[in-house]
């Protein structure tokens, strides 16, 4: 009987384990506090033929009412620092460390590299999955390696940054290795040498002292608190849509109609558009339908007022996608990841 297995929780409530506060239960739940716990969880699931869902802080997922199989959280939280050459500092961080707390700790040590990534919710283990990014910086800029347990053979291995295939909100963990691995640890290289990145949006104007990582950290936190709803108060999953990448020709066509449209040429020749601006221009900011709405300060964020279901949220988001497509001919893609109702 599954219930008799030590450490295995059955019928575990996940409603408070996702920042959208969608009602959800895990058929089985496994909290792994060290790497061998992760391996044991993977072996257990493989032995019983249970699908595995890895959950971090639940800030970028769309949970179904029932998550079948085994839901696993890698709660390894240790952080260590080692001095390298020429001001480099190598940081090893467990997958269960809170990302924002890590950023704060690094900034307090006057380390540069991730200060622009302050206040992104979630755990460190999820950071490479979508290559978290904000204010012109991505984890790709500082990531050295990722350690993981491969679910196919239960073995641990280390992937180099190159092997992680990091791109805009993308990585090998969303493609070839999707649902195949449990990330347990990350290696980052930060620096004691100042390297301010202030060229994104209004950040530069808000920083009191560009030579201080602490000042940048505080400015990022202040801007984010003004713009984004706190998921603890108003459940949400941050940006609900990715910023779409379109061809130069399509961007030029749109710009001839709307010259003020924000647009960011990319190294590959394509142009990134601002999904929030497109939604805003369609007059959808502040729209509320039932339990869900478009946030009134940031059109990229969908919020949950309570009592809603995943099906209602998906239907609401499809209306937004359809309206933007009908108005601009641009297809918006969802950012949070759908968790399948894995078959037990
Ligand atoms: C208010 C708000 C603001 C946000 N702002 C940003 C932002 O500025 N930039 C940005 O990039 N993102 C942002 N996000 C999205 C989110 O915070 C990040 O994607 C974060 O990295 C998700 O971490 P998590 O631990 O909550 O992951 P979860 O939501 O729990 O999981 C996300 C995905 O990663 C997988 N996963 C999680 N942990 C592991 C692991 N150890 N091993 C293997 N797979 C794993 C899960 O299966 C799932 O597919 C924001 C979200 C919110 C709510």
Task: Tell me the per-residue pLDDT of 180-200, one tens digit each, with 9 for 90 and over.
Answer: 999 999 999 999 999 999 988
Report how far residue 318's alpha carbon sits from residue 299's, in angstroms, rounded to the nearest whole number: 15
Q: Are residues 95 and 64 in the same domain?
A: no
Q: Does residue 237's CB lie within 6 angstroms of at least one atom of ligand 1?
A: yes
Q: Is 335 a catalytic residue?
A: yes
**Boundary-marking domain end, from 25, 40, 74:** 74
Residue 60 CA: nearest ligand 1 atom is 29
Q: Are residues 121 and 184 in the same domain?
A: yes
- Output the domain CATH number for residue 278: 3.90.78.10
**pLDDT tens sequence across 107-156:** 999 999 999 999 999 999 999 999 999 999 999 999 999 999 999 999 99
Q: Does residue 127's CB lie within 6 angstroms of at least one atom of ligand 1?
A: yes
pLDDT category at 344 given cuts 50, 70, 90 is very low
Q: Is 239 a catalytic residue?
A: yes
For residue 192 the two structure tokens come to: 């004691």
Q: What's the structural domain count of the chain?
A: 3
pLDDT at 201 over 90: no
pLDDT category at 339 given cuts 50, 70, 90 is confident
pLDDT category at 341 given cuts 50, 70, 90 is low
**Boundary-marking domain end, from 227, 261, 285:** 227
Considering the domain boundaries, does residue 240 fall inside one? Answer: yes
In 3-state terms, what secondary structure has residue 167? Answer: strand
Task: Using alpha carbons only, give the angle 235, 299, 115 rounded to the nearest 5 degrees.
Answer: 70
Domain that holds residue 28: 2-74
pLDDT at 1 over 60: no
Q: Which of 30, 38, 53, 56 to mutate to test the pocket of ligand 1 (most atoms within 8 A of CB)?
A: 56
Q: How far is the CA of 99 from the centre of ligand 1 (A)?
A: 10
Catalytic residue among 147, 239, 285, 317: 239
pLDDT number for residue 2: 46
Q: How far is the CA of 106 from the centre of ligand 1 (A)?
A: 20
Q: Which of 34, 116, 121 to mutate to test the pocket of ligand 1 (most atoms within 8 A of CB)?
A: 121
Q: Are residues 130 and 207 in the same domain?
A: yes
Q: How far is the CA of 335 from the centre of ligand 1 (A)?
A: 10
Which residue has the least CA distance to atom 8 on ligand 1? 134
Beta bridge partners of 182: 149
**Boundary-marking domain end, from 25, 43, 74:** 74
**pLDDT tens sequence across 64-93:** 999 999 999 999 999 999 999 999 999 999
Residue 132 CA: nearest ligand 1 atom is 11
Q: Are residues 102 and 241 in the same domain?
A: no
Report how far residue 165's alpha carbon sits from residue 265's, in angstroms, rounded to the nearest whole number: 21
Give the percent of the chain with pLDDT over 70: 98
**pLDDT tens sequence across 225-249:** 999 999 999 999 999 999 999 999 9
Q: Does residue 58's CB lie within 6 angstroms of at least one atom of ligand 1?
A: yes
Name which residue leads in pLDDT, 25 or 1: 25
Which residue has the least CA distance to atom 34 on ligand 1? 126
Considering the domain boundaries, does residue 252 fall inside one? Answer: yes
Q: Does residue 55's CB lie within 6 angstroms of at least one atom of ligand 1?
A: yes
Which of 210, 233, 231, 206 shows the shortest CA–CA distance to 221?
206
Q: Are residues 249 and 300 in the same domain?
A: yes
* Section 163-179 average pLDDT: 95
* Section 263-271 average pLDDT: 94
Q: How far is the CA of 1 from the centre of ligand 1 (A)?
A: 33
Catalytic residue among 92, 110, 312, 335: 335
Q: Is 169 a catalytic residue?
A: yes
Q: Which of 42, 75, 122 to mutate to test the pocket of ligand 1 (most atoms within 8 A of CB)?
A: 122
* Section 255-279 average pLDDT: 95
Considering the domain boundaries, does residue 286 fall inside one? Answer: yes
Which run of H or E residues covers position 321?
A: helix 310-328
For residue 326, count other CB atoms closer than 10 A to its CB. 9
Q: Does residue 282's CB lie within 6 angstroms of at least one atom of ligand 1?
A: no
Asked if 241 and 275 touch (Cβ cutoff 8 Å), the reply is yes
Q: Does residue 120's CB lie within 6 angstroms of at least one atom of ligand 1?
A: yes
Residue 134 CA: nearest ligand 1 atom is 8
Considering the domain boundaries, does residue 103 fall inside one? Answer: yes
């Amino acid at each position: 009987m599954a219930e008799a297995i030590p450490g295995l929780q059955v019928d575990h409530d996940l409603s408070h384990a996702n920042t959208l506060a969608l009602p959800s239960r895990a058929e089985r739940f496994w909290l792994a506090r060290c790497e061998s716990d992760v391996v044991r969880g993977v072996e257990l699931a493989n032995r019983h033929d249970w699908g595995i869902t890895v959950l971090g802080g639940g800030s970028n997922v769309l949970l179904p009412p029932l998550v079948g199989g085994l839901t696993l959280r890698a709660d390894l939280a240790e952080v260590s620092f080692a001095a390298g050459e020429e001001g480099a500092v190598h940081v090893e961080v467990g997958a269960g460390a809170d990302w924002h707390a890590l950023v704060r700790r690094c900034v307090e040590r006057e380390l540069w590299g991730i200060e622009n990534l302050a206040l992104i919710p979630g755990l460190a283990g999820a950071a490479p999955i979508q290559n978290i990014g904000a204010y012109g910086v991505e984890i790709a800029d500082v990531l050295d390696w990722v350690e993981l347990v491969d679910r196919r053979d239960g073995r641990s291995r280390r992937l180099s940054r190159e092997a992680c295939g990091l791109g805009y909100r993308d990585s090998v963990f969303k493609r070839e290795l999707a649902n195949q691995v449990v990330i347990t640890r990350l290696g980052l290289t930060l620096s004691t040498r100042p390297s301010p990145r202030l060229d994104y949006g209004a950040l530069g104007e808000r920083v009191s002292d560009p030579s201080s990582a602490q000042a940048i950290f505080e400015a990022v936190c202040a801007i984010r608190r003004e713009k984004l709803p706190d998921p603890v108060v108003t459940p949400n999953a941050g940006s609900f849509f990715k910023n779409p990448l379109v061809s130069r020709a399509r961007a030029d066509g749109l710009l001839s109609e709307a010259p003020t449209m924000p647009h960011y040429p990319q190294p590959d020749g394509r142009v990134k558009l601002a999904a929030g601006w497109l939604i805003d221009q369609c007059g959808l900011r502040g729209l509320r339908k039932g339990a869900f709405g478009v946030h009134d300060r940031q059109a990229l964020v969908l919020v949950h007022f309570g009592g809603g279901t995943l099906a209602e949220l998906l239907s609401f988001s499809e209306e937004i996608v359809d309206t933007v497509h009908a108005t601009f001919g641009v297809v918006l893609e969802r950012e949070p990841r759908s968790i399948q109702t894995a078959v037990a």
